[in-house]
Structures are given as C-alpha cells and as structure tokens.
Amino acid sequence: MDKLDIVTDESGNKVVLLPEIIFSNKQNINWDDVEDYLGKYVGELIEIAETRDIIYIGNKFPDEYGGSSYTRKTKGARAKAKANAAQGIREMVEIATDKVYRENHKEKHSEDAHNGWFYYVTRFAIPLYDNEKKTGEYNVYSACLVVNHAANGKMYLYDVVDIKKEASNPLKTIK
C-alpha cells in the first residue's frame, strides 16, 4: 500500500493528507463499510516516530472504530471526518505525539487494557471540493488515538476519538 503524504502546518504540527473522500454521506455513514475498509490494516504494526512505541492493529480495532459509543454519538461532519480518517490510520499512528498514560478502571477491559491506556494526539486533513473537483485546500482535524496496553505487553490501537476541526482557514497545499 502506498504511503500518504504527511505535511507540516504553520504551527509545526505534522498532518496526514487524506487523498480523497471515500465515505461522503454525512447523515448516514455506513460504519460496516468503514470496518470492512479498516480490515486491511489488521495484523500491521506501526512505530510512532516520537516515542518509538510499536502499535499493533488487532482484529478488534475495526469493530471498535465503527461501533464504539463515541462513534455512535458522532454525527455530521465529524462522523464523515472519522470515517474518512480510516484511509490514513497508519500515518496517523506514525505522527502521533503527546503521549499520556491512564490506568484501566473498567473490569470489561481487564485483559485488553491490563496495563492501562495510552492516548496520543494526531492530525489529519480532508480535501475540500468545489463541484466534485478538489480545490487544493484541506480541512484539518485533530484527534486522540486510544491505545490499550494488553496483558501480553503489546500496545493495540483501540479507537480514534475527540475529533475536532482545527482553524477555520483551510490548509493549502501545492500538488
């Protein structure tokens, strides 16, 4: 699979440029299609450049991404952003920053997150279109990668949450 472009914004943050919008319906995202799309990443491991942490994409990730309580509550442009972010999941992990640890307090995660949770900040950008044609501008979003630290000592990508559109002026690229 080809690597997606990673650019640096004017604040010095790395941003993954998504090549296109593949899930376009803001009102009714078909999360089963998103989960199917994410299935191609299962089994991959990705190194976070900043921390050198190795993150595994396990077989539970697509289901959690598409069916989590966060996803079920997400509507409109934010749901469209999350669905399309699936294209850049590897690169989003690679550029993740600002690692934070929290202990696991839920019994249901006692095995998957036996050693707690890690949270990282990442960014991605979705192309803007004008009459079905890309404009060369992108809306930038920040998000939180949720990673569980399992009983087997491995770290698994669990979900992408807290998706927020950044500045109102779009990122411009020269392509």
pLDDT tens by residue, 71-91: 999 998 899 999 999 999 999
Answer whether residue 1 is part of any domain: no
Choice between 24 and 168, residue whose per-residue pLDDT is larger: 24
Answer whether residue 151 is part of any domain: yes
CA–CA dist 130, 95 (Å, integer): 29
Instruction: pLDDT band for 174, please (50, 70, 90 cuts).
Output: very low
Quote the domain boundaries for residue 92: 6-172
Of the candidates 8, 77, 1, 104, the one whose C-alpha atom is nearest the C-alpha of residue 49 is 8
Amino acid identity, position 158: Y
> Percent of the chain beyond pLDDT 90?
71
The confidence score (pLDDT) of residue 175 equals: 42
Count of positions (residues) in the chain:
175
The answer to pTM > 0.85 is yes
The confidence score (pLDDT) of residue 1 equals: 55
> Percent of the chain beyond pLDDT 70?
95
pLDDT digits (tens, 9 = 90+) for 106-153: 777 777 788 899 999 999 999 988 888 888 889 999 999 999 999 899
Say if residues 87 and 22 touch (Cβ distance below 8 Å). Answer: yes
Answer whether residue 76 is part of any domain: yes
DSSP assignment, residue 100? E
Answer whether residue 21 is part of any domain: yes
Answer whether residue 12 is part of any domain: yes
Answer whether residue 150 is part of any domain: yes
Q: Provide the domain count of the chain.
A: 1
CA–CA dist 67, 71 (Å, integer): 6
CA–CA dist 76, 96 (Å, integer): 25
- Please name the residue that has the structure tokens 């790395």: 14
The confidence score (pLDDT) of residue 129 equals: 87
Instruction: pLDDT band for 165, please (50, 70, 90 cuts).
Output: very high
The confidence score (pLDDT) of residue 3 equals: 82
State the DSSP H helix or E strand holding residue 34, giving kind and residue range, or none if neither: helix 31-38
Answer whether residue 118 is part of any domain: yes
CA–CA dist 156, 175 (Å, integer): 34
Answer whether residue 139 is part of any domain: yes
Choice between 37 and 171, residue whose per-residue pLDDT is larger: 37
Say if residues 131 and 154 touch (Cβ distance below 8 Å). Answer: no
- Percent of residues in the chain assigned helix, strand, coil, to nearest 5: 25, 35, 40
Average pLDDT of the chain is: 91
